[in-house]
Chain A
Amino acid sequence: MKLYRVGGGEVQTGVVAMLRKQWARNALAVIAAGILIVLAIGAICAPLLSSIDPQSISPARRMRPPSTQFWFGTDNLGRDIFTRVIYGSRVSLMVGVGVAALATLFGTFIGLLTGFNRVADAILSRVMDGLMSIPAILIAIALTALTRASVQGVIIAITIAEIPRVARLVRGVTLTLRDQPFIESARSIGCSTPQILFRHILPNTLAPLIVQASFIGASAILIEATLSFLGAGAPTEIPSWGNIMADGRSLFQISPHIIFFPALFLAITVLAVNIVGDAARDALDPRLARETK
């Protein structure tokens, strides 16, 4: 597989080597990536990190402030907030990764199709424009209101809201590549349209797609938390960061720690994803790389 820059010419080989070089310069991105890795390990090993059941209720220890026993304190039902926040990272990461993957998959497919086929373009691009003109959070809210609330439902709802962004990006790249000489030569030696789409055009969309996927992941995590916070997201008993904060909302003036810790995790996670995405963009976009060096 060879990567071609939009203006023609081969891109430096070894994307990984290039990323590593860039990250050596960009300490902030390395820290952010480190935080994400720790978070992911924590989410996978949640049962090992805390022996307490995130759902276990104990009226005797309601609304305790943070202490050595309960690191992040307890909520109004006496549930351990540290445990719930750790389990909550499972939901957030699942939503972030799930939406990024699904939106990229479907968006790429629609983008390739609309970039190459005029009929499909006429119909699907109007649909994408229409969806783009509705704020993502409203689409997500409306769709979760339709379906019964579940984590999968939330993932699907946010995915539908995010697909147009990917489709538009891939369509743009496809349109600029379609008339390039290398596509013409591929066609002249008898490549079929699917071959051209998947073997020659798709690889060239990868770099901007990786960057876009990271931003979609970040935005999905935010939207999920917002949905839960508003009471329109995952079922309230599921310990997602948004749900923990929604529980702490009415008690905010008495025990702000219930909101504080999930909020901190949420903000740091999204910030880390965005910083890594920014670094990936700087590393993968040859135009930007030339400007900064």
Chain B
Amino acid sequence: MLRYIIKRIVAVIPVVSVVALFVFSLLYFSPGDPAAMLAGDNASAEDIDRIRESIGLNQEFFVQFGHWALNVLQGDFGRSLFSNTPVSALILERMGPTLALAWVTMAIAIPIGIPLGVVAAWRYGTWIDRLVSFMAVAGFSVPVFVFAYCLIYLLSIHLAWFPVQGYVEPSAGLWPFLRHLILPGVTLSLLYVAMIARMTRTTMLETLKQDYIRTARSKGLRESRVVMKHALRNASVPIVTTVGLGVALVITGVVVTESVFAIPGLGRLTVDAILRRDYPVIQGMILVFSLTYMLINLLIDISYTFLDPRIRY
């Protein structure tokens, strides 16, 4: 087990290096001269050259990459070109709202998505199945921000059940905090529910055709027990994988959802950085998002042993 975990972590290293190289190239090839920017408007050409030399900008690509990577490994992503705050501090500051949003989204999406998929597979070919399948395709097709505006229009402006946008710290009380997160959470759930329902349906269809399901039924087990225990448990590995892969979707969605609902999280930070061409922040964010994605996939791979005793490493 431990050997497997170590092997998996080692396998992540080349992938992380590619991401790091991509992210570094962004800054390296970005238009504009950071030395000139640091030097200010009144600097002479010699001043700029001196600054360029002092921060190592005249060195080879890979030397610069090495320096940068070493800094990143120590948690130093550089400073924001805009506010001059360290990028790591910015990321830590903005992490809370995004994590809260991600939890709310999962709390909404998983209890809806899995039962939808199970029912669709169980009632294969009926109108329920068709409805779920259609909803899954529709969920993939409606842009996150369009769904967001539909919800705001209906539930916030017309019915006034939820605030239009904004974020409240949990210290202000649990209900105001949740009230601000429900609409963004529902928005983000759309894609996630579609993905989970679709995958659950496909895997359950496979599982329900197995011999042991027929055996379970023929020995007179209740249908609920056959579906929930014998089928769903055996279908759990691909479903859990999808739940994990869905994190990539949530990350994508967070970028959009946070800007629609004005939530001061990582997604908003990313969009603002892009609009201001704040490259160090963009770099930091892409690294953080990719690492999160890889870490979650790693955890999922390891969780297989607990879900399915047949899998041993």
User: Which A residues fall within an 8 A CB radius of B?
Assistant: 28, 126-127, 129-131, 133-139, 141-142, 145-146, 218, 222, 225-226, 229-232, 245, 252-253, 256, 259, 263, 266-267, 270-271, 273-275, 278
Judged by a CB distance under 8 angstroms, whether B45 is at the interface is no
Contact of B18 with A131 in the complex, beta carbons under 8 Å: yes
Would you call B145 an interface residue if the criterion is a C-beta within 8 Å of the partner chain's C-beta atoms? yes
User: Does the CB pair B256–A130 fall under 8 Å?
Assistant: no
| A231-B275, A271-B141 known, 15 other contacts, Cβ within 8 Å | A126-B17, A127-B18, A129-B14, A135-B289, A138-B252, A138-B255, A138-B286, A139-B22, A145-B277, A230-B274, A231-B271, A256-B149, A266-B143, A267-B141, A270-B142
Among candidates A135, A222, A278, residue contacting B137 with C-beta atoms closer than 8 Å: A278
In the complex, which residue of chain B has the Cβ closest to the Cβ of A147?
B31
CB neighbours of B282 from chain A (8 A): 142, 145
Task: Specify which of A145, A229, A273 is in contact with B274 (CB 8 Å cutoff).
Answer: A145
Interface size on B, residues (CB 8 A): 46
Given A126-B14, A141-B274, A232-B274; A267-B26 close (CB under 8 Å): no
Asked if B227 is at the interface of the complex by the 8 Å CB criterion, the answer is: no
Residue-wise, chain B 36-75 has the 8 Å CB interface mask toward A (1 for contact) of 0000000000000000000000000000000000000000
Q: A139 vs B19: C-alpha distance in the bound complex, in angstroms?
A: 10
B89 adjacent to chain A (CB < 8 Å): no
For residue B248, CB closer than 8 A to chain A, the reply is yes
Closest 3 CB pairs of A and B: A130-B18, A271-B141, A270-B141
Q: Nearest Cβ distance between residue B57 and chain A, in whole angstroms?
A: 18
Are B290 and A133 touching (Cβ within 8 A)? yes
Do A134 and B22 form a contact, CB below 8 Å, given A146-B29, A263-B143, A274-B140? Answer: yes
Q: Which of A133, A135, A232, A245 contacts B145 (CB 8 A)?
A: A245
Residue of A133, A137, A218 touching B141 (CB-CB under 8 A): A218
CA distance A253 to B158 in the complex (A): 10
- Give the chain B neighbours of A133 by CB distance below 8 A: 15, 19, 290, 293-294
The answer to whether residues A252 and B149 also contact, given A129-B15, A135-B248, A138-B286 and a CB cut-off of 8 A, is yes
Contact digits for B1-20, partner A, Cβ 8 Å, 1 yes 0 no: 00000000000001111110
B242 at the interface (CB under 8 A from A): no
Q: CB of B131 within 8 A of chain A? A: no
User: Are A274 and B256 CB-contacts (below 8 A) given A131-B22, A142-B282, A230-B271?
Assistant: no
Instruction: Decide if B144 touches A146 in the complex (CB within 8 Å).
Output: no
B295-311 interface bits toward A, Cβ cutoff 8 Å, 1 = contact, 0 = none: 00000000000000000
Docked pose: A133 CA to B251 CA in angstroms: 11
| Residues of A contacting B22 in the complex (Cβ-Cβ under 8 angstroms) | 130-131, 134, 139
B153 within 8 A of A: yes
Distance from B188 Cβ to chain A, minimum over Cβ atoms (Å): 13
Contacts of B31 in A (CB 8 A): 146
Give bound CA distance, A253 to B154, whole Å.
11
Contacts of A253 in B (CB 8 A): 157, 164
* Interface pair A271/B137, CB less than 8 Å apart: yes
**Chain A residue at minimum C-beta to C-beta distance from B285:** A138
- 22 A–B contacts, CB within 8 A, in A order: A130-B16, A130-B21, A131-B18, A131-B22, A134-B19, A135-B248, A135-B252, A138-B270, A138-B289, A145-B274, A218-B141, A226-B256, A229-B143, A245-B145, A245-B146, A252-B149, A266-B143, A270-B141, A270-B143, A271-B142, A275-B137, A278-B137
Cα-based distance from A201 to B7 in the complex (angstroms): 33
Give the chain A neighbours of B29 by CB distance below 8 A: 146
Is the CB of B138 closer than 8 A to any CB of chain A? yes
Inter-chain CA distance A245–B294, complex, in Å, is: 33
B259 at the interface (CB under 8 A from A): yes
B180 → A minimal CB distance (Å): 18
- Contact between A230 and B255 (Cβ–Cβ < 8 Å)? yes
Q: B286: which A residues are within 8 A, CB to CB?
A: 134, 138, 142
B28 to chain A, nearest CB (A): 10
Q: Which residues from B are CB-within-8-Å of A230?
A: 255-256, 259, 271, 274-275
Q: Tell me the minimal C-beta distance from A80 to chain B in angstroms.
A: 21
Interface pair A142/B15, CB less than 8 Å apart: no
Residues of A within 8 A of B157 (CB): 253
Nearest opposing residue in chain A for B260, CB measure: A249
Interface: B85 (CB within 8 A): no
How far apart are A255's CB and chain B's nearest CB, in angstroms?
12
